[in-house]
Structure 1
Amino acid sequence: MKNSNSVKFPSLMHAMNGLPAPRMSRLPASEVQVLRQVMIKACDLPSGSALERFVRDALADAEVVESYFFPRISRQSVNAAPQQTQMLLPINQALRAARQAKAFVDLLPHERSVAFVAALLYSCGVFHCTHPLFRPSGRNGAPSRSYAKKLMGLLLEDALHNLQRADAGLGQTLAAVLGMGDAQDCQPDQVARIGTAVYLANVAVMQVGLGV
């Protein structure tokens, strides 16, 4: 049975059907815009809300969007069995993590949308630095966790600053959850709840992306 929650992407379908791998070239701006709207719509946020504007700002960089839609090959060994090869699409990994975070049992109702957005963007640094066109020159193999986290901060910095200007409380909370700001001015229990939900939901995503 097909998973109706999975995003379909032509390059992935070609790879799964044994056809040539997708070309190593940037996506057209028109296609990036379609994919950007897929991600924004998935967040299901009130139009014009501070959190929705944050998502739009975070996805304004075409490289961020493209990173979520480039298929990756994952090779895993289970016990003593030979390695199993699986084709993964980062957006599906991220959406799965976002839904898991949103459903975290300890969250309060008004915290669930924040957890969804934070979990969706939590691994953007991993996806970006493992994209073959965006990987920094001289860096081979899987990136380190610290490098991926630093890159996430750079990719989301402007969007987060805009959010903090529009809604200081929400911006500070989201920054603390993502490890990009001090939690001193936030509600510590709230940051702990959302942060735990986001972290646990992304453990598997980080393991696959970083090879750890």
Structure 2
Amino acid sequence: MTQQTDICTAFPKAHPAGAAPSTRIARYTDKQLHPCAHDLAQCRQEIESRMPYATAEPLNQFIYDVFADDDLVHAFFLPVGMSVLAGQPPVMPLDLCQRDATKAASYSVLLHRQEREMAAAAAFVQTCGYYWCVRQQVLDQQSPLIASAPRAYRARIAAASRALLEEPLRQLRRSQPELGQTLARVLGVGVGEPSDVDAQQVARVQAALGAVHLQVH
């Protein structure tokens, strides 16, 4: 019989990068929490099949590099909410991030084509630290941290995002310096480092990401 774990975890209606999740009781199986290597490979393949693809191959490679982290792949397949349609499977982070990326890529009035591709990639990965922390919360059963120290939880999310994104962004800057620097600024990673980016372009992409959250949440 499959073991199941009852814990308090996040069922977010929205997932802004700095927001601490609300809590409900959720039930996860051991297989959901600790997929085998075969399941992990299938999960990674599904992420790659649903990620936004850009004409600039280095941008695609950036997303591949982000999801080289096994724990993040696990995190993108933990159910985080119930489907609004009866009989449909529960909502996963992958569903939400794919939806956000699709929305971001549709802003043809606000963004140029290459900017839309950048916005889609940013929308797909910008909450990776959030969901990584959600999974750690599940594993560690640390939900009291949210209620007692939301500021500490936000700091934990920010630290996780930096840890997950810094090296992929560094690799992107090596192959495409301007693209890598701009995306890093959009995602708020390494903002203190000297860079020569188009501030208006960064503002346009960030505005599109903000509009995505206003529309879907």
- After superposition, residues 39-118 of structure 1 pair within 5 angstroms as 39-45=47-53, 49-73=57-81, 87-104=90-107, 105-118=109-122
Quickly say closer, same or farther: Cα 1:166–1:155, change in 2 above 3 A.
same
CA contact (8 A) 1:102 1:112 kept: yes
From 188, 194, 215, the counterpart of 1:179: 188
CA contact (8 A) 1:40 1:52 kept: no
Aligned-pair identity (%): 28
AA in 2 matched with 1:173: T
C-alpha displacement at 1:121, in angstroms?
Answer: 0.5
Q: Tell me which residue corresponds to 2:129.
A: 125
Quickly say closer, same or farther: Cα 1:53–1:109, change in 2 above 3 A.
same
Please give the secondary structure, in 2, of the residue aligned with 1:130: helix
Quickly say closer, same or farther: Cα 1:90–1:25, change in 2 above 3 A.
closer
Moved more, 104-113 or 22-31: 22-31
Quickly say closer, same or farther: Cα 1:47–1:26, change in 2 above 3 A.
farther
- After superposition, residues 161-180 of structure 1 pair within 5 angstroms as 161-180=170-189
In 2: Cα distance, 1:70 partner to 1:117 partner: 21
Please give the secondary structure, in 2, of the residue aligned with 1:88: coil
From 138, 150, 165, the counterpart of 2:159: 150
Q: Tell me which residue corresponds to 1:22.
A: 29
Aligned positions, number: 177
Query: RMSD of aligned C-alpha atoms?
Result: 3.0
C-alpha displacement at 1:53, in angstroms?
Answer: 1.2
